[in-house]
Structure 1
Amino acid sequence: MANSEHEEVIKLASVVSEANDNEIPALLVRLKYILHRSQQTPQELQDIKELILDYDLLPWCAIVLKYDHSKVKNGFATAVSIVEILSQCCYSISLEKHEEVKDLTLPDAVNSILYLAFVILEQYFENWKQFGSIRYGTHAETIASRLGQFQSIMDSLVNLVTSQSYLARTVLESDNLIRLLIEDNAEMEKRQVLVMKLVQRCVRVDSSCVEKLRSTSANHLLDELIFKITSSQSDDLVGLIVKTLLMMIDAYPDLAGKMTMRYKGLKALMTKWLDHGFDYNLKALMEILDAGNLKLAELARRTRAVKVIWAAYQGWKTRARVGKLHKVIPSLQSSFRRKRQENLQAALKERLGFEQRYEAELHRKRQVRLAREKQLQMLEIVPARSVNRHIQKEEEKAAVKIQTIWRGCSQKKRYEKEKLFQKQVNAAIIIQRGIRKFLKRRRNARSSKPNQLLKYPTVPKELREDYQFEIEQKKTISRKKDVPLSEAQAIHDLTQQRLLLYHSNRNERIQFRDPKLDALLTKIHIEEEVLSNLPDLSTATKVDVDNLSSASNAVAVAAEREHYRAMKDFTSQWWKKLAFDTKDSIDPFDAKIAPVYDQEQNDIEEFLRTPGNFNNLFG
């Protein structure tokens, strides 16, 4: 099968070399049927492509593409088939052995293909302007066929550039490519999307071609792309242009500076394409134009990426916290409801208390008013001669009432002081108990150690034997008669224990003896002896009085204040004696009560000036 196909290719090559120019296109179309046979394996197909290259059939295809196919019947369909053959023969094949095809034939064929695409697109546009409204018939079929042919040419050219990447520069430098992009009506813009896909594929397969472009070709291409951005109405076309410009800048970073200098104010015109589905690429291009340098734009892009990552992290963190809150919310709600109920109950209780106090105040005022009315009625009933006696009784009752209330207040104050004093006393007792326990443990620990005083001095062995001999002699001489040895041994042990106890107690007394305590005990004994020997008042002399006098300033001051109190008690009015029925109510050693009666008098007067206390007395 493979040999027959090889023979067909060889026979076709010989026929093409001898045929007329008008017959060659139809002959070359037969290669399409040879390449598309389904029984061929990949290796056989590769061998056929090599055979076509060897017999110079591809140069004939490039030559045929230069013909004017508009004057030939079905000429555009034949040309499209030849373009597909050329693209398929160059796909996944090496052209290192065919330098002429690589350097001359294919670049020339690319320019011819672009021109053919331009011609077909022009034919399509003319037919569309005349018969675009017709949906059926010969004209509608012609429009559809032209559109299909244009799409086939663009797809074949994309495959050709993909397989032979060095042709990308030829495509971008071609004037026919600019002619395809120049058209600016809405219908042509829909077809220019295919052209932009071709440009994008060229930049993608050979990124170095952007830097190698001639300056005039690069400027023409950039001018047309920027013009399409500013004037086009197609979102798809502008999105492809923006993405292609980004790829060109990535391939050739200096292009960003040139674009910034050449197209000033482009950023403001590009803002109208925001929110059209390609904001990411558009914002990246605007940042590059704003920065004027790819490095600065990359830094800005990374900064934006960091912000996006941080925002995503914060969002995740917030969602996690909210997820945890779903578990905590029931307890928070129950706590809030409980607290709200407690606040409502507290407010209700406060309102009820206020109402009760208000009612109590009204009741008190009412009782005071009734009591005064009752007094006035009683004064009306009492005879004139008994008015003074009635007033005297009322004064006595008032005095008793005042005394009762004042004594209650004074007792309350005294109780608070005594309570604090008793608390301090209890605290001192607890502290003393703890200290005594600590000292007892310390004494017991010391007494458990062997007494150093009872240690016998070391005696040499010779003297020890002499001492032992003398002791035995004295025991023999002084031994009682009829006393058993065991009883004597028991008496000896008892004597030793008592001697040990005596020395230990004597050591403790010597160690813990306090000289201040001894001096205080001595003073107490002397004063006790002086008090026990006091004579009677009838026989007392000045010497006895001097013996009773004290040298302490505190005692002298206390005696002077007690004398002042006694004299004041004899000369004061009756209402000044209400708080001093007992002498035990005054501490002579308290420095805060001087003068005693003036302070108590001020307290009584202040108590009587208070309206509430007066109402309590007469309520």
Structure 2
Amino acid sequence: MMEPSEEEEGGVLISELKRQLERKDLNPEKKISLLNNALTEVLNLAAVQTNSSSLAQVKSQLYHSGILNHCVQMLSLHPSRLRDNWTASATLAHLTSSCCVGVDPGSQFQAFHRVFLPSVIDVLLPLACRLMSQAESSSVFRKVMDSVGWLLSAHTHLTTQVLSSAYYEQIQMCDDIAVGLLCIQMWIQICTVNRNFLSDLSNDSVLLLLNEVVGQLALSSDSAVGGASITLMLLMAKQLGLRLQPLLLKFIGLDSLLEKDWRGRGFDQELDLLIAIVQSDKSESSQMEVSTERMQAACVIQAAWRSFQTRRRVKSLNRAASTLQRRYRARRRQQQEQRDAQHWEEELRYQVCMRRQQARRQFHQKQRQLLQLLPPEQVQSYLQECERRAAVVIQSFWRGFRERRIYKSTLQHTLKQKHTQQQAARTLQRAVRCFLEKCRAAKAPPLTPLWIGQKGLTDCRRVELKQQVETYISAHRSSAVSLEECVSLHEEVQLLLQAELQKGEQQQREEQWVETLLAYTHTQLELLQDAPALSVVTVMQAESFLSPSASIAARARNAHNAVLQASRLPWWRTLGEPDTSSESGPALLLELGAELGEPFTGGSADTLRWTELKTKCPQRCSTSKPAALVEDSGRARHQLGVRPRS
């Protein structure tokens, strides 16, 4: 007999392994051990063959036979079922990733790349995350991460899934320096093994990888981590070329970070090369940096906040798990209590029904026994009596129901009719009251006029009233006052009334004049408060402060020139001048008011004294000016909010 070839022997081993995996008496530990031994034997047997395609054929047979799916199922089991056998799990993960590289799925190409490979990543990353928390499993963790890197180097489309995974984010947020260094070394190994790895990635995936590298540079202070991160960025710049420039522009301040934190660590040559790459297009993208500065700041803040949230979420996992378990147990206890209460209620309802049925059965049995005891001639009369009583009960119930329904409908109709009558009575009362008020208002006498000049008093009415007054006076002559005295008294009253009316009109004109002056004064004060400084004033604004009166403008110009001349005099020229403020202040106010045609509202007492002194002695005032005038003018401007003019 001919001995089987090596390919046939590999197929026999795969068939035997599949048969043994279908046994139900194997526990997870034995299955993992069986898979490790069988896969190692099959791969070693295929590797020593001279045919280069034999290894790919064996891996394809493993995938089509479903053994790789068994491997994924074993790796996805809970750690408690594996009894913390991390070494065997890591070995199985390494063998699974090796079998996924170089497989020819054939017609199942879409299912292999879109379903099976993502499921392998989904079991490898949680396994690596569990091994990261084990202090004694550093070598096993490295083995699992190498398996992930080996799988990514052959299947580039899985990179986005790895970078966006929550488990990989937990691995990134680990405070252990060795874990961060291992992650960076994994990406360096991938880029080294597959030189087209980065060029096949999308810009979003490259940006995620850059975020990880820059985050390590910003958060870590270890020289090994910094050197590995700089090496990875140089590899990315070498493989991506011009694609990396716009992505590096998103990291504003990267060159200053490298220069400040990583200078003098033993890799200055690589650091200078990376800084030169970062700053190569800095001059051309200066305008873009200004526009993207806020976006980068927001990204940094979001990254810091997300990292803080992730760390806090990782720390609170135990508390969250206990809270979830407590709420689940409480919910399950509540549901159980509800089910028990419903069960007892149904049981009670069933017991009640059964007791009613038993009572009815006993009643019928007793009735039948009584019927058996009765004589035959009395049975018919007894049944008729029972029917009559039943008819009476039914009729009584029906009459009660009918009377209650009639009473209810009658009561509702009565209440509705009563409400309608009340509404109608209110409407009638309201209408009657309005009519009575109108009648009273029509019958009320008209009000007497309060004064003579009331509207509606015509000349005819005035003559008629005068005639009535004369008739009344002639009919009721006074014995104490003569006719001439009455006429004189009447004329005096008319004169007083006329004077009073004229006085009212004059007072009204004075009030209008005062209101006009107050409005004018307030307008001028608001203009002075809002006046700009001389350094920024324009010609149009300056003309708005000029008076329309030529005499007022001339006098103001003369006063201003006098003040300027007095301010240039030495102080000893102002000594010995008399103080005439108390004598000339009110008089000067009246004079200025009479001359300007309106009350004078500006200036202090010293200003008034200076103006009066200038009016009386112009030659003397042209040589001096009191210093208090300058202080008061500055104080007045400060109170009014007017800025000083230079």
Task: Tell me the TM-score range normalised by the shorter chain.
Answer: 0.3 to 0.5
TM-score when normalising by structure 2: 0.38
**TM-score, normalised to structure 1's length?**
0.39
Structure with the larger RCO, 1 or 2 (CA within 8 Å, 6+ apart): 1
Rg bigger for which structure? Answer: 1
